[in-house]
Structure 1
Amino acid sequence: MSAPWQSARRILCVRLDSLGDVLMCTPAMRALRRAVPGRTLTLLGSPSGVAALPFIPELDDAIAWEAPWTKATAPRAHASGPALIATLAARAFDAAVIFTTYTQSALPAALLCQLAGIPLRLAHCRENPYDLLTDWIPDPEPAPLVRHEVQRQLALVQRAGCRSAEPGLSFVPRPADFAAARTRLSAAGIAPDRPWILLHPGASAASRRYPPAHWSQVLRLLADDPQVPVVLTGSAAEAELVDAIQSASAVPAISLAGRLSLGELGAALRLAAVVVTNNTGPAHMAAAVGTPVVDLYALTNPQHTPWHVRNRVLFHDVPCRFCYKSTCPQGHQACLTGVDPQRVVDAVHELLDAARPAAPGLPAEAPDASVPT
Structure 2
Amino acid sequence: MSWQGCKNILCIRPDNMGDLIMTGPAIRALKESFGAKITVLTSSMSAGVVKHMPEIDEVIIFNLPWVKTAETPDVTVFSEVVAQLKERNFDAAVVFTVYSQNPLPTAMLAYLAGIPRILAYCRENPYQLITDWVPDKEPYKFIKHQVRRDLDLVATVGATTTNENLTLTVDDDLWPSITQQLSNKGLDTNKPWIILHAGVSETKREYPAECWIVAAKRLIREYGLQILLTGSESEKHLTEELQVQIGEGSFSAGGTFKLNEFICLVKYAPLLLSVNTGTIHIAAAVGTPTVVLYGQTNPQHTPWKVPHTILEFPVPVDMHSRNEVIAYVNQTVYAQPSSIPKAADVVNAVIDLLKRSSPAGQPFAHTPVQSQVFPAS
Structure 1 residue 317: Cα displacement: 6.0
Match of 1:341 in 2: 343
Structure 1 residues 141 and 226 mapped into 2: Cα distance closer, same or farther (>3 Å)?
Answer: closer
Superposed CA offset, 1:314-366 (max 9, x none) = 0246896994479xx99xxx968711011111111011101347744424x43
Is 1:88 matched with 2:88? no
For 2:96 and 2:63, the matched residues in 1 are separated by 15
For 1:351 and 1:309, the matched residues in 2 are separated by 11
TM-score after normalising by structure 1: 0.89
Give the root-mean-square deviation of aligned CA atoms. 2.5
Is 1:213 matched with 2:213? no
Structure 1 residue 215: Cα displacement: 1.3
Superposed CA offset, 1:209-232 (max 9, x none) = 111111111211111156431111
Is 1:117 matched with 2:107? no
- Where in structure 2 are there 5+ consecutive unaligned residues? 331-335, 359-366
Of 207, 227, 232, which aligns to 1:230?
227
Match of 1:279 in 2: 276
Structure 1 residue 195: Cα displacement: 3.6
Match of 2:97 in 1: 100
Contact 1:45 1:66 (8 Å CA) reproduced: yes
For the residue of structure 2 that corresponds to 1:233, the secondary structure is strand
For 1:321 and 1:193, the matched residues in 2 are separated by 45
Structure 1 residues 336 and 263 mapped into 2: Cα distance closer, same or farther (>3 Å)?
Answer: farther
Is 1:59 matched with 2:61? no
Contact 2:306 2:375 (8 Å CA) reproduced: yes
Contact 1:154 1:163 (8 Å CA) reproduced: yes
**Pairing 1:6-45 to 2, within 5 Å after superposition:** 6-37=4-35, 39-45=36-42
TM-score after normalising by structure 2: 0.88
Identity between Structure 1 and Structure 2 (%): 36
- Where in structure 1 are there 5+ consecutive unaligned residues? 369-373
Which amino acid is the alignment partner of residue 61 of structure 1?
Answer: E
Of 349, 352, 355, which aligns to 1:350?
352
For 1:348 and 1:265, the matched residues in 2 are separated by 21
Match of 1:294 in 2: 291
Superposed CA offset, 1:159-193 (max 9, x none) = 11011111211222223443442332233343445
For the residue of structure 2 that corresponds to 1:268, the secondary structure is helix
Structure 1 residue 308: Cα displacement: 0.3
Contact 1:180 1:264 (8 Å CA) reproduced: no
Which amino acid is the alignment partner of residue 13 of structure 2?
Answer: R
Aligned residues: 358
Contact 1:302 1:322 (8 Å CA) reproduced: no
For 1:254 and 1:94, the matched residues in 2 are separated by 50
For the residue of structure 2 that corresponds to 1:48, the secondary structure is coil
Structure 1 residue 202: Cα displacement: 0.2
Match of 1:142 in 2: 139
Identify the range of structure 1 (334-343 vs 5-14) with the bigger mean alpha-carbon deviation. Answer: 334-343
Contact 1:195 1:228 (8 Å CA) reproduced: yes
For 1:112 and 1:298, the matched residues in 2 are separated by 33
